[in-house]
Amino acid sequence: MEPAYPQPLVMVDTALFTIRDERLRLILTRRKEPPFEGLFALPGGFVHAQEDADTEAAARRVIRGKIGFDAPYLEQLFTFSGAARDPRGWSVSVVYYALIPWSLLEGNSAAEAFPVDALPPLPFDHGQIVARAVERLRGKATYSSLPAFLLSAEFTMNELHRIYEQTIGARLDKASFRHKILGQDIIEEIPNRFRTGAHRPAQLYRLSSKVLTAFERKI
């Protein structure tokens, strides 16, 4: 039962989402080697059986190499495979997607964030990968705490509302959103903390401990 066949190449790729200027964006990297040298592509690399505990660890390694720290939210998306997707041979790519607040990326030299609806031409099957990642993100956003991971630890209700609208790509009623989100135990008020500014101060919220422990947020 040992494989008498040559084994496929095993790699990981990552779809790193952020929101900047009210638009959902992806962080791409410029390829430094052939094939497709010079093109923008999803950050990725081969899985190192020696040093990676599993593919998720490999994804974290790739992400740290790209942005310098761990992503607050990381989840496996899908595994792509086949002979045609990479000219180097039959390959398997385990793809992860991550959500990263723009505030953590600001000033990061390597980070080039492209709007998901205006991406440059992508090599391999990265176009399909991106399509599936966006689909998954939008699908999950509606009924989960996911988009909140695109914000820093403290945020106002209106900021959260906008982030949901931007990830989903549609309008959401303010009052309904507020009511629904508060009924879901996703976020909690931070007592006596407000965002002050030119006008009425806004209550600050944070992700509930329930959500945080579920995802083991790293920041």
d(CA 60, CA 63): 5
d(CA 214, CA 199): 36
Give the footprint of a copy of itself on residues 57-86 (CB under 8 A): 76, 78-83
Among 36, 41, 69, 90, binds a copy of itself (CB under 8 A): 90
Would you state the structure tokens that stand for residue 191, as one six-digit string?
């007592």
Q: Is 141 in the site for a copy of itself (CB under 8 A)?
A: no
Sign of CA dihedral 48, 49, 55, 56: negative
- Total binding residues for a copy of itself by CB under 8 A? 31
Instruction: Tell me, rounded to whole angstroms, the distance of Cα 196 from its chain centroid.
Output: 30
Q: List the end-to-end C-alpha distance of the chain, in Å, as a whole number.
A: 45
Is 112 one of the annotated active-site residues of the chain? yes
Q: Which residues bind DNA (CB under 7 A)?
A: 156-158, 172-176, 178-180, 195-203
Q: Mask 7-46, x = binds a copy of itself (CB under 8 A)?
A: xxxx----------------------x------------x
Please say whether the beta carbons of 9 and 89 come within 8 A.
yes
Q: Which is nearer to a copy of itself, 106 or 135 (CB)?
A: 135
Chain positions contacting a copy of itself, by CB under 8 A: 1-3, 5-10, 33, 46-50, 53-56, 76, 78-83, 88-90, 92, 94
